[in-house]
């Protein structure tokens, strides 16, 4: 910002802070009354008079480079980097006419869901789905196809759904701190374990399950 288009009480006060001057010292620098500077603080959104705009334009033009840089930073502070949204990979693992589920410990409740794991920045979603399935249940699987992604309506995390095929291994609960059980169930019984309205529609379609 090399030119101030319009000086307000707020921008004038920011310029004062950039100059690192008290009200009295800043007023003396501009050859105005200290009470004028005090008025800027009381009315930060008010546009200053044409005469005061000229006085501040001149002071800004004559300010050294460090003052100018501090002023720019005060008017346009650097933005904090946004935290990456939490992302999870959800594995829908098929074995013939069966699908793999884990019974998750959710506080004092138990609920069934597909194996899932957090996707760290830079990690491959499909690889996480396969690895987390093996880590949670001991089941080895391979990726068949991605089924899509959504913001999960319950948890608010970004959920990526991966359709997988069973290769080997019987389900075992390898994560007792998080899960109570791991098992294959008949696909036809899926909505008895997880309500249909909580299942991502493309998952139901891929499994041939009616909502």
CA distance 171 to 34: 78
The contacts of residue 88 (CB under 8 Å, 6+ apart) are 116, 117, 118, 119, 152, 157, 158, 159, 160
For residue 17, give the H/E element and its range.
Answer: helix 9-19
The contacts of residue 132 (CB under 8 Å, 6+ apart) are 89, 91, 115, 116, 117
Question: ∠ at Cα 85 (123, 74), nearest 5°?
Answer: 120
Task: Enter the DSSP assignment of 196.
Answer: G
Instruction: Report the helix count and the strand count for the chain, using DSSP H and E.
Output: 8, 7
What is the model's pLDDT at position 41? Answer: 85
How far is it between the farthest Cα atoms of the chain? Answer: 86
What is the model's pLDDT at position 1? Answer: 44
What is the model's pLDDT at position 108? Answer: 62
What is the model's pLDDT at position 2? Answer: 55
What is the model's pLDDT at position 83? Answer: 53
With respect to CATH, is domain 87-207 assigned 3.40.228.10?
A: no
Cβ pair 29, 19 in contact under 8 A: yes
* Predicted structure pTM score: 0.61
CA distance 46 to 88: 49
- Radius of gyration of the chain from Cα atoms? 31
What is the model's pLDDT at position 80? Answer: 61
CA terminus-to-terminus distance, the chain: 57
pLDDT-flagged residues of the chain (< 70): 1-3, 80-84, 107-108, 211
Nearest to 173 by CA among 92, 94, 90, 100: 100
């Amino acid at each position: 910002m090399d030119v101030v288009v319009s000086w307000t009480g707020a921008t004038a006060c920011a310029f004062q802070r950039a100059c690192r001057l008290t009200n009295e010292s800043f007023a003396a620098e501009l050859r105005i009354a200290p009470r004028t500077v005090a008025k800027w603080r009381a009315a930060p959104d008010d546009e200053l008079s044409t005469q005061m705009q000229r006085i501040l334009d001149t002071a800004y033009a004559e300010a050294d480079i460090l003052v100018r840089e501090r002023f720019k930073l005060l008017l346009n502070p650097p933005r904090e980097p946004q935290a990456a949204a939490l992302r999870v990979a959800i594995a829908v693992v098929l074995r013939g006419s069966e699908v793999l589920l884990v019974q998750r410990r959710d506080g004092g409740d138990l609920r069934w869901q597909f194996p899932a794991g957090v996707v760290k920045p830079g990690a491959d979603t499909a690889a996480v789905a396969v690895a987390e399935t093996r880590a949670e249940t001991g089941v080895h699987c391979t990726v068949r196809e991605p089924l899509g992604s959504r913001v999960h309506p319950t948890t608010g995390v970004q959920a990526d759904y991966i359709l997988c095929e069973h290769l080997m291994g019987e389900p075992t609960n390898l994560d007792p701190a998080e899960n109570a059980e791991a098992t294959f169930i008949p696909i036809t019984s899926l909505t008895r374990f997880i309500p249909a309205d909580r299942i991502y529609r493309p998952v139901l379609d891929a499994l041939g399950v009616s909502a």
